[in-house]
Amino acid sequence: MTKRRDFSEFNAKLEKHLERLPDYAQRAQEKLQRYFPPVEQTGGKPARPQPPAPRPSFSAVADQVPAVAEARAKWQRWNEPTAKHQRRVRRTSRVLTLWILVTILLGVITVLAGTGLIGSATGPEIGQAVFAGFATLVFGTFSVRTGLRLRELKKLELPAAPSAPPPLPPAGSIAREPMERLAESEASLRELLRQLSVPTSLGTTAVPEVSVADARATADEAARALRSLADRIQAIERGRNAAPERERAALHTAVTKLREQLDDGLDGYGGLVAAAGRAVAASSNGMGTSRDSLTDATDRLAGLALALKDLG
Same domain, 207 and 293: yes
The verdict on residue 255 lying in a domain is yes
Same domain, 125 and 182: no
Q: What pLDDT is attached to residue 281?
A: 76
Residue 311: phi and psi, rounded to 5, are -65, -30
Burial environment of residue 248 by CB neighbours within 10 A (0 to 12, 13 to 18, 19 or more): middle
Choosing from 123, 155, 187, the residue where a domain stops is 155
Q: What pLDDT is attached to residue 168?
A: 85
Closest CA to 227 of 181, 188, 272: 181
Closest CA to 299 of 273, 272, 266: 272
Closest CA to 193 of 205, 202, 204: 205
The verdict on residue 40 lying in a domain is no
Q: What pLDDT is attached to residue 231?
A: 92
The verdict on residue 169 lying in a domain is no
Same domain, 100 and 131: yes
The verdict on residue 272 lying in a domain is yes
Report the percent of the chain where pLDDT is more than 90: 20
How many angstroms separate the most distant Cα atoms in the chain?
155
Cα separation, 171 vs 62, in Å, equals 12
Which domain does 111 fall in, by range?
Answer: 81-155
Least confident interval from 130-144, 148-162, 168-182, 244-258: 148-162
Please write the tens of the pLDDT for every residue from 35-44: 555 544 444 5
Same domain, 181 and 150: no
User: Taking residues 70-79, what's their average pLDDT?
Assistant: 77
Choosing from 102, 121, 155, the residue where a domain stops is 155
Of the segments 141-145, 168-172, 198-202, which one has the largest average pLDDT value?
A: 141-145
> 0.85 cut: is pTM over it?
no
Residue 203: phi and psi, rounded to 5, are 85, 5
Same domain, 303 and 196: yes
Same domain, 130 and 221: no
Same domain, 141 and 205: no
The verdict on residue 216 lying in a domain is yes
Same domain, 142 and 181: no
CB-facing half-sphere around the CA of 239: CA atoms within 13 A: 14
Cα separation, 130 vs 128, in Å, equals 5
Same domain, 303 and 182: yes
The verdict on residue 107 lying in a domain is yes
Please write the tens of the pLDDT for every residue from 85-96: 889 999 999 999
Please write the tens of the pLDDT for every residue from 248-276: 899 999 999 999 999 988 988 888 888 88
Closest CA to 207 of 272, 297, 293: 293
Please write the tens of the pLDDT for every residue from 21-74: 667 666 766 666 665 555 444 445 554 555 454 554 555 555 555 676 677 778
CA distance readout (Å), 75 to 58, 72, 83, 86, 138:
18, 5, 11, 16, 39
In the chain, the number of structural domains is 2
Q: At residue 295, does pLDDT exceed 60?
A: yes
The verdict on residue 267 lying in a domain is yes
The verdict on residue 306 lying in a domain is yes
Please write the tens of the pLDDT for every residue from 181-224: 999 999 998 888 888 777 765 556 666 777 778 888 888 888 98
Q: Based on C-alpha coordinates, what's the Rg of the chain?
A: 38
